Amino acid sequence: MAAITAEEMRELVARALAEDLGDGDVTGEATVPAERTATARIVQKAPGVVFGLDLVVETMAQTGVQEVDTLVAEGEWFQDIPVEVLVARGTARSILAAERTALNFLGHLSGVATLTARYVEAVAGTKARILDTRKTTPGLRKLEKAAVAAGGGTNHRMGLFDAFLIKENHIAAAGSIPRAVYAARKAHPELPVEVEVRNLDETAYALGTGADQLLLDNMDPPTLRAAVELRDANSHDGGKPTLEASGGVNLETVRAAAESGVDFISVGALTHSAPVLDFSLLLSTD
């Protein structure tokens, strides 16, 4: 998983296991003979995109599971379910110690990838691309954004450090949109600059600042379409900023937003409200 390094993955999994196991799995240790070996199969029970198998492998490795094999490629949509996605062999105790942490990672990240794929499918045939946001689970941003990419979405900035997004409060503190854009360009000319606008007047004003992208905040489809027309009418010599629709978008409304002609649609729900994709671990003892 290129989203995080091997060391980052080991540390993340170790923290998650420590949270779950504490001083030990009292149920497993009391009821399961130490020498009992088993085979575990993780089964996907709902249609969707699988993502997070590397975390399952690492989780099982850290609890002492000897053999783990992934059976499917990540980033693919599986419609015909149930489908086995992973098989593991080891002591029953070690498998049971890993079970919940492994399924938590897999279900959550696959849920993010699956919801993203639904949004991407909803705008298919338009020019709009689906963006994620910074509305992520603390500590899991890299993984959640990787899951968005696995579902066919496009990653927005990783954090506050790698791109400018000048929002309403920044503009108020800076004094105006031009002042904020000028200060951003002066401080870090190598970084892209995006400006939030709330109506067509602000859109027209921001177009004159040379911003790379405008965030069209909570605009309905007719207003989005007017903003696209305004941008196109006032762009010359290749200096055409991209437009991002944001706010109030769901699976029922995203198509209309995309058909307005915007370049991007950002959806916070991809990471903050994605339903968990359903997986089960089925254990058989040897």
Rg from Cα positions in the chain: 23
Instruction: Please write the tens of the pLDDT for every residue from 81-98.
Output: 999 999 999 999 999 999
Tell me what percent of the residues of the chain surpass a pLDDT of 90.
94
Active site residue 144: no
Describe the strand order of the beta sheet including 83-91 as a list of residue ranges. Answer: 67-70, 83-91, 37-44, 279-285
Q: How confident is the model at residue 239 (pLDDT cuts 50, 70, 90)?
A: confident
Instruction: Please write the tens of the pLDDT for every residue from 255-268.
Output: 999 999 999 999 99
Active-site residue, from 89, 134, 135, 179: 135
Distance CA 177, CA 122 (A): 34
The predicted pLDDT at position 234 comes to 84
The predicted pLDDT at position 237 comes to 63
Q: Collapse the DSSP code of 151 into the 3-class scheme (helix H, G, I; strand E, B; otherwise coil) and give the result.
A: coil
Cβ neighbour number for residue 74 with a 10 Å cutoff: 19
Average pLDDT over residues 179-205: 96
Q: How confident is the model at residue 275 (pLDDT cuts 50, 70, 90)?
A: very high
Active site residue 69: no
The b/e string for 217-243 (b: 16+ C-beta within 10 A; e otherwise) is: bebebebbbbbbebbeeeeeeeeebeb
Q: How confident is the model at residue 238 (pLDDT cuts 50, 70, 90)?
A: low
Active site residue 168: no
Active-site residue, from 217, 220, 259, 278: 217
For 5, list phi and psi in degrees, rounded to 5: -75, 165
Select the more confidently predicted residue: 3 or 59: 59
The closest alpha carbon to 265, from 46, 81, 116, 144, belongs to 116
Active site residue 240: no
Active-site residue, from 74, 196, 202, 244: 196
Active-site residue, from 41, 167, 185, 198: 167
Give the residue ranges of DSSP H helices in the chain: 6-21, 26-31, 53-63, 92-122, 141-150, 168-174, 177-187, 200-207, 221-233, 254-258, 269-272
The closest alpha carbon to 272, from 147, 129, 123, belongs to 147
Active site residue 100: yes
Check whether 42 has a pLDDT greater than 80: yes
